[in-house]
């Protein structure tokens, strides 16, 4: 009998060709610590993060690499910081397009321009534009580099999971390959298999939320035209393509054009190249030469799973939550899932932390997903008003925005992805009222210059104790974990981002670079209690 694992899409990069594993001939299913299902940005990143932490991980993907098409495009500062921790950010930054200026149009009128004006003193820009396959390729390059250094990561292409059998203390999966089916067992299974998550379906789990009846046509065009590197957004564009349109630059002289088409469309007809060209011509004008590079029509919903942890199965990325494209909150939030999950799973697997630490992954990332869904839903409602009165107010805002500055703050063409602060998390320890709100417990650490380098690059893989003008011991061990200290000078950036009005500051930083707790002086008992809390033993 001949088996097959057919490709559902064309590959941009073949990264991990199928190779038969000894597991396929094993008499009893091989047992692995962690199995990741899905080879998109989230699956690759979690495999990389776990592997770099020494957790043996097997990634199963029904394809052999990165799919074609630009898809996720805008990668935010926090994503780049996380990728830097994983050793993948430098090539992303080198290849990606940086942009700061945005223009907002209504019909044919320029309403206003905005500048992201990134705050100084950060290693990474606010955003880069980079096609998803390149993002995945750079993560894969980092996996190969990590494997060479001994990271126990194994990628299995053309390994499609056809069944999942959860048990109390492990999960069994049935995997189809070109050599036929085999079984594997995992202590933990991480489902990163996308918005249509077959694993979610196999487990009979819901994916509820608000359906937005809309279709988006992406047209990637290659052109040498002298358009500036800016984000141009139209409400009700004069070229009559629908409620909104977006023009954005990608690497390699490629431009992303998003046309919002509405609900009742003839999908096949809209995908005809001649019809796409007519739309693009109307937008760019008749004299601009370009080639169609790639196009796709997609729909979206704003929804999430009720829980991201189901026993030994953990859902991450689009499999767990889905948002509208406005705000670049899809892949960016998926990478934040990875950041949150990897250190917790590593501590649970080595016995340092109780299994219940993984419930904080659920709590924190559900909170993050709700924030993203709220922002994304509000942008969608502004762009496509659902009632007559809502449209009237929307257009009043747009009209005022042309002349009155305040109205520009109300215009919502997507609130661009910012990392989530886990306010109220059970892992958070004490706060100090004299220190800046942006670094309160639960917040991701803002970067700052440090000597010739950067603060975030100096944070280790584990917990860190930051001290500014405060005495801390040079060696601290809690729950068997070494907590190295990092002494900071009160530079202007450190003072405004960490010290505030306090005389001194001691910060306990989690392995994902989020603040666990902070005090104005070191206290052995308090720090130990905060560590206990931060690893889920509190």
Partner 1 sequence: MLITTPNLTKPDESYARLIATHDGLDEAESHALNARLILILMNHIGNDAVLAEAMDLARNPKKGAA
- Contact positions vs partner 1 (CB under 8 A): 392-393, 395-397, 399-400, 404, 406-407, 410
Closest to partner 1 by CB, 410 vs 481, is 410
On whether the CB atoms of residues 268 and 198 are closer than 8 A, the answer is no
Residue with tokens 């009237």: 392
In whole angstroms, the minimum distance from the beta carbon of 270 to partner 1 comes to 32
Of 9 and 406, which CB lies nearer to partner 1 in the complex structure? 406
Q: Which tokens in the block code for residue 318?
A: 């689009």
Inter-residue contact 420 to 371 (CB < 8 Å): yes
State in angstroms the smallest separation of the CB of 382 from partner 1. Answer: 13
For residue 310, the cross-strand partners are 313
Residue 446 per-residue DSSP state: P
Q: How far is the CB of 418 from partner 1 (least distance, A)?
A: 20
* 18 vs 114 by CB, closer to partner 1: 114
Q: How far is CA 97 from CA 9, 32, 50, 504, in A?
A: 26, 39, 29, 40
Nearer to partner 1, 397 or 508 (CB): 397
Closest contact distance (angstroms) between CB of 107 and partner 1 is 15
d(CA 538, CA 536): 6
Alpha helices, DSSP H, located in 402-454: 405-408
Alpha-carbon gap, residue 409 to 407, rounded angstroms: 5
Angstrom distance (rounded) from CA 394 to CA 397: 5
Q: Are 261 and 297 in contact (CB under 8 A)?
A: yes
**Choice between 400 and 426, CB closer to partner 1:** 400
Of 227 and 393, nearer to partner 1 (C-beta) is 393
Nearer to partner 1, 147 or 395 (CB): 395
Decide whether 104 or 219 has the Cβ nearer to partner 1: 104
Of 400 and 529, nearer to partner 1 (C-beta) is: 400
Min. distance of Cβ 18 from partner 1 in angstroms?
56
**How many CA atoms are closer than 13 Å to the CA of 452, on its beta-carbon side?**
0
Continuous segment of H or E residues that includes residue 31? strand 30-37
Report d(CA 105, CA 230) in Å as an integer. Answer: 13
Quote the least distance from Cβ 393 to partner 1, whole Å.
5
Quote the least distance from Cβ 186 to partner 1, whole Å.
47
> Tokens 């419930």, residue?
359
Instruction: Find the shortest distance in angstroms from Cβ 105 to partner 1.
Output: 19
Min dist CB 403 to partner 1, Å, is 11
Count of other CB atoms within 10 angstroms of residue 174:
16
Strands (E), 109-179: 109-115, 127-129, 153-156, 160-166, 171-177
Work out the burial of residue 9: count CB atoms within 10 Å of its CB; fewer than 13 is exposed, 13-18 middle, 19 or more buried.
exposed
């Amino acid at each position: 009998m001949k088996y097959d694992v057919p490709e559902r899409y064309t590959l941009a990069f073949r990264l991990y060709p199928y190779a038969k594993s000894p597991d396929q001939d094993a008499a009893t299913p091989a047992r692995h610590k962690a199995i990741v299902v899905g080879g998109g940005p989230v699956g690759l990143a979690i495999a990389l993060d776990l592997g770099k932490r020494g957790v043996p991980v097997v990634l199963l993907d029904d394809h052999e690499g990165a799919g074609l098409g630009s898809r996720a495009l805008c990668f935010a500062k926090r994503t780049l910081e996380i990728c830097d921790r994983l050793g993948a950010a430098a090539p992303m930054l080198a290849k990606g397009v940086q942009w700061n200026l945005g223009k907002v149009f209504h019909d044919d009128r320029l309403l206003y321009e905005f500048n992201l004006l990134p705050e100084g003193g950060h290693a990474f820009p606010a955003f880069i534009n980079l096609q998803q396959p390149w993002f995945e390729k750079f993560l894969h390059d980092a996996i190969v580099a990590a494997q060479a250094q001994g990271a126990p990561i194994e990628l299995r292409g053309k390994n499609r999971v056809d069944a999942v059998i959860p048990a109390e203390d492990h999960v069994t999966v049935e995997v189809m390959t070109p050599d036929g089916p085999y079984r594997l067992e995992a202590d933990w299974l991480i489902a990163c298999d996308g918005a249509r998550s077959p694993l979610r379906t196999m487990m009979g789990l819901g994916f509820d939320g608000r359906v937005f009846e809309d279709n988006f046509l992406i047209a990637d065009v290659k052109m040498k035209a002298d358009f500036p590197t800016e984000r141009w957004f139209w409400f009700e564009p004069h070229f009559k393509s629908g409620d909104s349109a977006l023009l954005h630059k990608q690497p390699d002289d490629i431009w992303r054009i998003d046309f919002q088409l509405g609900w009742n469309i003839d999908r096949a007809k809209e995908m005809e190249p001649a019809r796409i060209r007519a739309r693009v011509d109307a937008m760019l004008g008749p004299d601009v030469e370009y080639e169609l590079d790639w196009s796709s029509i997609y729909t979206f919903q704003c929804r999430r799973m009720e829980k991201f942890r189901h026993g030994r199965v953990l859902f991450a990325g689009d499999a767990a939550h889905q948002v509208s494209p406005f705000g670049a909150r899809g892949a960016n939030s998926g990478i934040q899932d990875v950041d949150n999950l990897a250190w917790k799973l590593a501590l649970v697997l080595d016995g340092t932390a109780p299994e219940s630490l993984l419930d904080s992954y659920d709590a924190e990332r559900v909170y993050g997903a709700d924030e993203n869904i709220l922002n994304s839903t509000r942008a969608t409602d502004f762009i496509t008003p659902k009632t007559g009165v809502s449209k009237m107010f929307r257009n009043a805002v747009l009209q005022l925005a042309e002349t009155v500055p305040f109205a520009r703050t109300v215009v919502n063409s997507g609130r661009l992805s910012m990392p989530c602060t886990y306010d109220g998390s059970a892992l958070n320890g004490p706060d100090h009222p004299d220190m800046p709100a942006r670094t309160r417990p639960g917040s991701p650490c803002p970067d700052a210059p440090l000597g010739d380098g950067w603060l975030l690059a100096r944070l280790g893989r584990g917990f860190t104790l930051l001290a500014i003008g405060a005495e801390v011991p040079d060696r601290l061990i809690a729950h068997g974990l070494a907590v190295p200290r990092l002494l900071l000078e009160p530079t202007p950036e450190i003072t405004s981002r960490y010290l505030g009005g306090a005389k001194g500051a001691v910060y306990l930083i989690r392995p994902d670079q989020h603040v666990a707790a902070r005090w104005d002086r070191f206290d052995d008992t308090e720090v130990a209690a905060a560590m206990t809390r931060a690893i889920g033993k509190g």
